[in-house]
């Protein structure tokens, strides 16, 4: 008799929780000169370290690690949901135009508005994501009937392309020399992490995760096909809308605070599914923790590999992502 | 990089003689080598010049040949009279068609950020393009000298160079013996991008009597870790004002109260139009930075102009 | 024999897809413990009929009653607790195991998040045993044969503990052995009290297991009754546009058609 879903959930989540804790501790303690135990102990008021180290840890490494963890958690969870809803294990949270909209919002903010007092970069990016998702929904609803999933994906591709085109338009018209800043945003950047951003993103991610997990059985049903799911008691379009909205909000929130970090929402759920099976009751908690550990670790690498210069975290995830895809290809 | 004053003057004199060496022939063709190693020639004084960088526009005005200037970029804002000259597009993205339509016989461009294709296209059409890539104040002098030759304004160029060199000497004397504070020059704060040792701004810091904490960074303008900033704890933090609305960047830095530059309010925002341009006004930029880094030293400016 | 209680009644249901009418006033009733078959040529609307009967499609005229209440008054979950559908489903490459797939059949009895309890496990084990796929419990779905997959789907349907199981063209892709095994299974399920509603173009198969056969023609029920009453050369010719001999087994009264040619 194979392991029950409950046992799998508890075991995998516990293991990943430990992993996440280890990654956070390592992220906090690892500096260019190696691991500094005092730095970690300093957080709980023990150990002896200089006030400089304390500042580095509390004002730089810790908020960064936490934000990376939250972002990884959110993107991985959204990835699980999108892969189930779109019935495609290679789906990705950015597939339906969220990243395109977020990028457009951010670019508009950077080039045209400078730093708006009211909304700020994150606010405009989030609004951009919402507009993109709204457009996707609008487009998809124009063509009712069967093949809804393909319609959504197609609409997402269209809207994403449109947003990218507009973004390039804005960049070129503004004659902006903010290219570096835009590029860093597009590649994902946690260096500007602060506790406020982390808290907001964390709350949204937690609420989104709880909403999704509370319907995890229904998410499983979505994977067997629209008609079968309906015959098994699911209000298919309602629940699908629910999941897409939840996952989009979480993704939009993450994108708005950290830029578009690629591959996390694709690799983490996929890897965990290969290891733990497709049951979302197991995958949702596992992805939350696994995604957090993955991105926190990637960000730590991004911070240290080329010290004192920094790599954008998107470069690290892409360098991990490409071989991963190669592996998938060879495996088939 | 320490230069003897005499050596500097000698170098300039030699450079002034360079036209003889390069061969200005009777028909008035003057040739110079630009910073990309290409030979750029102009017969007579160029009549229709397009400038693709604000610093070069400033230099043209300084040399007094602004009436030959037929095109400039949108960012060329100094001096004020430059706004009367037609634009050929954005600073790093000029419109090739507009440049060509102005029928120039010389195009001045700056290497950082320039698209090679533009240079190639213009050259292929027979339009000479002079590309500058100044990395220090010496480079600016050399640039002025060559442009002076190209425009047959050697006198103006020489006098500008002499003025710059003189003021540099004075500056150097004033800085003699003064402690050199550690400096971070941020060209962007969100995210943090700094001037490394190989950059133009890095050279200015060195000459203004500061020690750049990012001196060892090979990339001219690189992302930088805040952790390193906290560790090195520079006495001064200079910010280019164009990159962020001043107060915001300063506020962002206030998150790190252990930084002494923050605590003692030694975070300064500098006018990018002045400081970041390799133009004759570079000497004022130099003096400004020096004054910022050594506020209690005596007057940095030369007493007689 | 007492008049069996009608579980599901369809009264003059009509349905059109785009502008083409598919069902034109179909009336049919499924009683408790019935073993009912609907036969007709491809495209006559048999699958549509199942969808209308289970509420996934709304008829534009007529209505469907479940336990004498309109189907529209039930939530999808409530319907799924009573009606199970086994059809050629879409497959996705997610890698569920047989056990997990059959466990999905318990969904209508639980809410949005639920980890299976002892009762669920017992029901699923029973369903797996009945359909004789218990030895495949840990296998992934994409490693199964057509016949095995069919039985897994039926097991899932059984796990729903429905009153009626609908099967849509269950004999497609099944070899003779699998077809006969299926027949045994359906009879077994029916004996346990679950009504079976079978839709097929395989006349002989339906004739052999169904007690009550409905012949569908041109969007409505042309005739219904015992197999030998409905499966006659004339009716077969009208419906299927073929010439056929019908031989009736003297002991069991089960008719068997031998197709001779087209009309």
Q: Which of C75, C94, C110 sits opposite A278 (nearest CB)?
A: C94
CB-based contact, A116 to chain C, within 8 Å: no
Question: What mean pLDDT do residues C21-34 have?
Answer: 92
pLDDT computed for residue C173 by the predictor: 78
Q: How far is C69 from chain A (nearest CA, A)?
A: 18
3-state secondary structure string across C148-166: HHHHHHHHHHHHCCCCEEE
Structure tokens at C71: 């189907």
Q: Does the domain made of B5-167 have the CATH classification 3.30.9.10?
A: no
CB-based contact, C114 to chain A, within 8 Å: yes
Q: Which residues in B lie closer than 8 A to residue A175 (C-beta atoms)?
A: 74-75, 89-93
| A window 257-296, beta carbon within 8 A of C | 273, 277-279, 281
In angstroms, the CA A291 to CA A265 distance is: 8
Best mutation target among A65, A110, A177, A309 (most B Cβ atoms within 10 Å) is: A309
Best mutation target among A91, A231, A283 (most C Cβ atoms within 10 Å) is: A231
Do A59 and B255 make contact, defined as CB atoms within 8 angstroms? Answer: yes
Q: How far is B232 from chain A (nearest CA, A)?
A: 10
- Categorize the per-residue pLDDT at A1 as very low, low, confident or very high, splitting at 50, 70 and 90: low
Closest chain C residue by Cα to residue A7: C115
Angle between helices A5-29 and A264-276 (to 10 degrees): 140
Q: How far is B187 from chain A (nearest CA, A)?
A: 11
Q: How far is A105 from chain B (nearest CA, A)?
A: 17
Do B227 and A115 make contact, defined as CB atoms within 8 angstroms? Answer: no
- pLDDT mean across residues, chain C: 90
Q: Domain C1-82+162-231 in CATH: superfamily? A: P-loop containing nucleotide triphosphate hydrolases (3.40.50.300)
In this structure, of A189-198, C70-79, C178-187, the range with the lowest mean pLDDT score is: A189-198
- Please indicate whether the domains covering B5-167 and B179-293 agree at the CATH topology level: yes
Q: Give tens-digit pLDDT for A154-186.
A: 899 999 999 999 998 888 777 656 777 788 888
CB-based contact, B255 to chain A, within 8 Å: yes
Examine the pLDDT at C126 and tell me if it is beyond 70.
Answer: yes
Please report the domains of chain A, with CATH numbers, ordered by start residue.
5-331 (1.10.3470.10)
Q: Give tens-digit pLDDT for A6-23.
A: 999 999 999 999 999 999
In angstroms, the CA A119 to CA B176 distance is: 49
Closest chain A residue by Cα to residue C95: A278
Q: Give tens-digit pLDDT for B245-281.
A: 656 777 778 878 888 998 888 888 888 888 888 988 9
pLDDT computed for residue C127 by the predictor: 95
Domain ranges for chain C: 1-82+162-231, 94-161
Do A308 and B74 make contact, defined as CB atoms within 8 angstroms? Answer: no
Q: Give tens-digit pLDDT for C80-122.
A: 999 999 988 766 667 899 999 999 999 999 988 999 999 999 9
When the candidates are 3.40.50.1980, 1.10.260.40, 3.30.70.600, 3.30.1540.10, the CATH number that belongs to B179-293 is 3.40.50.1980
Q: H-helix or E-strand containing B71?
A: strand B69-71
Angle between helices A236-258 and A148-173 (to 10 degrees): 20
Do B231 and A56 make contact, defined as CB atoms within 8 angstroms? Answer: yes
Examine the pLDDT at A262 and tell me if it is beyond 90.
Answer: no
Examine the pLDDT at C134 and tell me if it is beyond 90.
Answer: yes
Do B224 and A309 make contact, defined as CB atoms within 8 angstroms? Answer: yes
- Categorize the per-residue pLDDT at C2 as very low, low, confident or very high, splitting at 50, 70 and 90: very low
Do A194 and B255 make contact, defined as CB atoms within 8 angstroms? Answer: yes
- pLDDT mean across residues, chain A: 88
Cβ-Cβ contacts under 8 Å between A and B: the total is 79
Q: Do chains A and B touch (3 or more CB pairs under 8 A)?
A: yes
In this structure, of A98-102, C89-93, C163-167, the range with the lowest mean pLDDT score is: C89-93
Q: Give tens-digit pLDDT for A115-146.
A: 544 567 888 899 999 999 899 888 888 876 66
Spans of chain B below 70 pLDDT:
1-27, 241, 243-247, 298-305
Q: Which residues in C lie closer than 8 A to residue A10 (C-beta atoms)?
A: none
Q: How far is A54 from chain B (nearest CA, A)?
A: 10
In angstroms, the CA A285 to CA A206 distance is: 11
Helix, strand and coil in chain C, % to nearest 5: 35, 30, 30
CB-based contact, C79 to chain A, within 8 Å: yes
ipTM of predicted assembly, 2 dp: 0.90
Question: What mean pLDDT do residues A195-216 have?
Answer: 95
Helix (H, G, I), strand (E, B) or coil at A78: helix
Neighbours of chain A (3+ CB pairs under 8 A): B, C
CB-based contact, B225 to chain A, within 8 Å: yes
pLDDT computed for residue B25 by the predictor: 47
Strands, DSSP E only, in C4-48?
Answer: 6-17, 20-31, 35-39
Closest chain B residue by Cα to residue A30: B227
Q: Do chains C and A touch (3 or more CB pairs under 8 A)?
A: yes
Examine the pLDDT at A217 and tell me if it is beyond 90.
Answer: yes
pLDDT computed for residue B48 by the predictor: 92
Q: Which residues in C lie closer than 8 A to residue A231 (C-beta atoms)?
A: 54, 56, 80, 83-85
Examine the pLDDT at C70 and tell me if it is beyond 90.
Answer: yes
pLDDT computed for residue B304 by the predictor: 43
Distances (CA, A) of B304 to A102, C40, C119: 56, 110, 99
CB-based contact, C116 to chain A, within 8 Å: yes
Spell out the residues 6+ positions from residue C239 whose beta carbon is closer than 8 angstroms to its own. Answer: C39, C40, C41, C215, C216, C217, C222
- Categorize the per-residue pLDDT at C183 as very low, low, confident or very high, splitting at 50, 70 and 90: very high
Do A191 and B226 make contact, defined as CB atoms within 8 angstroms? Answer: yes
CB-based contact, A276 to chain B, within 8 Å: no
Examine the pLDDT at A28 and tell me if it is beyond 60.
Answer: yes
Best mutation target among B54, B75, B191, B262 (most A Cβ atoms within 10 Å) is: B191
Domain ranges for chain B: 5-167, 179-293
Q: How far is A200 from chain C (nearest CA, A)?
A: 26
Q: Which residues in A lie closer than 8 A to residue C89 (C-beta atoms)?
A: 224-225, 227-228
Q: Give tens-digit pLDDT for A30-75.
A: 888 788 887 788 777 776 777 778 888 888 899 999 999 999 999 9
Q: Which residues in B lie closer than 8 A to residue A172 (C-beta atoms)?
A: 93
Q: Which of A214, A232, A277 sits opposite C113 (nearest CB)?
A: A214
Considering Cα of A68, then A73, then A78, then A79, what sign does the dihedral take?
Answer: positive
Closest chain A residue by Cα to residue B114: A177
- HSE, side-chain direction, 13 A CA sphere, residue B138: 14
Do C81 and A279 make contact, defined as CB atoms within 8 angstroms? Answer: no
pLDDT computed for residue B20 by the predictor: 47
Structure tokens at C74: 């039930």
Do B258 and A32 make contact, defined as CB atoms within 8 angstroms? Answer: no
In angstroms, the CA C140 to CA C99 distance is: 9
């Amino acid at each position: 008799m194979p392991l029950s879903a409950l046992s799998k959930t508890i075991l995998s989540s516990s293991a990943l929780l430990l992993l996440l804790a280890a990654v956070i501790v390592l992220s906090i303690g690892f500096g260019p000169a190696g691991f500094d135990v005092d730095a970690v102990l300093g957080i709980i008021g023990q150990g002896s370290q200089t006030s400089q180290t304390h500042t580095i840890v509390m004002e730089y490494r810790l908020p960064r690690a936490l934000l990376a963890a939250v972002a990884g958690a959110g993107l991985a969870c959204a990835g699980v949901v999108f892969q189930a809803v779109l019935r495609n294990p290679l789906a990705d949270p950015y597939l339906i135009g969220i990243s395109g909209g977020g990028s457009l919002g951010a670019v508009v903010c950077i080039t045209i508005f400078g730093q708006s007092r009211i909304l700020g970069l994150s606010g405009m990016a989030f609004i951009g994501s919402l507009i993109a998702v709204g457009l996707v929904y609008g487009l998809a609803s124009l063509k009712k009937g069967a093949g809804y999933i393909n319609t959504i994906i197609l609409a997402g591709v269209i809207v994403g392309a449109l947003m990218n085109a507009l973004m390039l338009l804005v960049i070129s018209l503004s004659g902006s020399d903010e290219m570096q800043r835009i590029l860093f945003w597009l590649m994902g950047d946690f260096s500007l992490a602060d506790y406020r951003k982390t808290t907001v993103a964390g709350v949204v991610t937690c609420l989104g995760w709880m909403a999704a997990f509370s319907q995890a059985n229904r998410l499983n049903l979505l994977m067997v096909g629209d008609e079968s799911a309906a015959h098994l008691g699911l209000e298919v379009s309602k629940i699908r809308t629910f999941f897409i909205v939840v996952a989009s909000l979480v993704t939009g929130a993450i994108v708005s605070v950290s830029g578009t970090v690629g591959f996390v929402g694709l690799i983490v759920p996929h890897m965990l599914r290969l290891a733990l099976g497709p049951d979302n009751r197991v995958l949702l908690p596992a992805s939350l923790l696994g995604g957090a550990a993955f991105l926190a670790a990637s960000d730590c690498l991004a911070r240290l590999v080329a010290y004192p210069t920094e790599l954008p975290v998107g470069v690290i995830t892409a360098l991990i992502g490409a071989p991963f895809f190669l592996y998938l290809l060879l495996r088939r | 990089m320490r230069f003897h004053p005499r050596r500097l003057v000698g170098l300039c004199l030699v450079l002034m003689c360079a036209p003889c060496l390069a061969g200005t022939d009777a028909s008035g063709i003057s040739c110079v080598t630009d910073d990309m190693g290409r030979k750029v020639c102009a017969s007579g004084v160029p009549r229709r010049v397009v400038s693709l960088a604000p610093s070069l526009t400033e230099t043209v005005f300084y040399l007094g040949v602004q009436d030959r200037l037929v095109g400039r970029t949108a960012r060329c804002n100094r001096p004020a009279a430059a706004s009367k000259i037609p634009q050929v597009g954005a600073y790093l993205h000029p419109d090739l068609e507009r440049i060509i339509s102005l029928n120039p016989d010389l195009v001045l461009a700056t290497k950082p950020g320039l698209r090679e294709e533009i240079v190639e296209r213009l050259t292929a059409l027979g339009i000479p393009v002079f590309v500058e890539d100044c990395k220090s104040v010496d480079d600016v002098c050399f640039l002025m000298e060559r442009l002076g030759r190209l425009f047959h304004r050697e006198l103006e160029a020489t006098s500008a160079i002499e003025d710059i060199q003189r003021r540099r000497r004075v500056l150097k004397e004033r800085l003699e013996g003064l402690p050199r504070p550690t400096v971070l020059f941020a060209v962007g704060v969100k995210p943090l991008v700094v001037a490394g040792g190989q950059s133009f701004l890095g050279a200015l810091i060195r000459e203004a009597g500061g020690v750049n904490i990012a001196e060892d960074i090979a990339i001219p303008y690189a992302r930088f870790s805040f952790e390193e900033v906290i560790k090195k704890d520079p006495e001064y933090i200079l910010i280019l004002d164009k990159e962020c609305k001043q107060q915001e960047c300063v506020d962002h830095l206030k998150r790190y109260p252990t930084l002494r530059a923050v605590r003692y309010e030694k975070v300064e925002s500098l006018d990018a139009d002045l400081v970041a341009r390799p133009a004759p006004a570079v000497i004022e930029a130099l003096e400004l930075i020096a004054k910022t880094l050594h506020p209690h030293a005596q007057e940095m400016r030369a007493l007689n102009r | 024999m007492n008049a069996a209680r009608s579980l599901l009644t369809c009264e003059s249901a009509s349905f059109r897809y785009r502008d083409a009418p598919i069902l034109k006033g179909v009336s049919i009733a499924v009683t408790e413990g019935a073993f009912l078959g609907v036969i007709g040529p491809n495209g006559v609307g048999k699958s549509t009929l199942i969808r209308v009967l289970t509420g996934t499609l709304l008829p534009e005229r007529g209505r469907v009653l479940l336990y004498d209440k309109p189907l529209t008054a039930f939530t999808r979950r409530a319907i799924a607790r009573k009606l199970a559908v086994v059809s050629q489903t879409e497959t996705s490459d997610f890698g569920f195991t047989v056990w997990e797939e059959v466990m999905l059949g318990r969904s209508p009895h639980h809410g949005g998040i639920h980890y299976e309890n002892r009762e669920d496990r017992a029901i699923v084990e029973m369903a797996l045993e009945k359909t004789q796929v218990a030895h495949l419990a840990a296998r992934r779905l994409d490693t199964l044969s057509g016949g095995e997959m069919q039985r897994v789907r039926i097991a899932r349907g059984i796990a729903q503990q429905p009153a009626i199981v609908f099967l849509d063209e269950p004999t497609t892709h099944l070899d003779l052995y699998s077809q006969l095994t299926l027949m045994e299974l359906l009879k077994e399920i029916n004996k346990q009290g679950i009504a079976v509603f079978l839709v097929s173009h395989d006349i002989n198969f339906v004739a052999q297991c169904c007690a009550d056969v409905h012949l569908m023609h041109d969007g409505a029920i042309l005739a219904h009754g015992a197999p030998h009453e409905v499966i006659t050369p004339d009716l077969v010719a009208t419906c299927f546009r073929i010439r056929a001999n019908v031989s009736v087994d003297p002991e069991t009264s089960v008719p068997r058609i031998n197709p001779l040619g087209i009309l």
